[in-house]
């Protein structure tokens, strides 16, 4: 995730999640059994959580720990490490709700 580029693995995960959501829409349109749809929703939530962990890890590595090394995103450059850590704390609090 360095220099504002989304890692190919994250893009692949996003594409899979989009496919899963499209599948849920098709299941609902086909009047599939509720439990089957709920199972797919749980799978999407799990996939989103895994993607969130990957993005957070990359953010910590490139923007917080790598601050000042040129690996950070352009929006992280003007911030201090203390501000970046506060941002991570706020983000985690939203992520874990």
14-71: pLDDT as tens digits: 999 999 999 999 999 999 999 999 999 999 999 999 999 999 999 999 889 888 898 8
Helix axes 81-95, 34-59, angle to 10 degrees: 170
Task: State pTM to two decimals.
Answer: 0.81
Confidence at residue 2, expressed as pLDDT on a 0 to 100 scale: 42
| DSSP, residue by residue, 1-65 | -GGGPPPHHHHHHHHHHHHHHHHHHHHHHTT--HHHHHHHHHHHHHHHHHHHHHHHHHHIIIIII
């Amino acid at each position: 995730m360095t220099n504002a580029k989304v890692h190919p693995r994250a893009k692949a995960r996003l594409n899979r999640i989009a496919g899963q959501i499209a599948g849920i829409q098709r299941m609902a349109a086909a009047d599939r059994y509720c439990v089957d749809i709920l199972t797919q929703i749980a799978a999407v939530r799990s996939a989103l959580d895994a993607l969130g962990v990957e993005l957070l890890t990359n953010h910590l590595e490139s923007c917080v720990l790598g601050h000042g090394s040129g690996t950070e995103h352009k929006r992280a450059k003007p911030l201090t490490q203390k501000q970046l850590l506060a941002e991570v704390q706020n983000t985690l609090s939203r992520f874990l709700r």
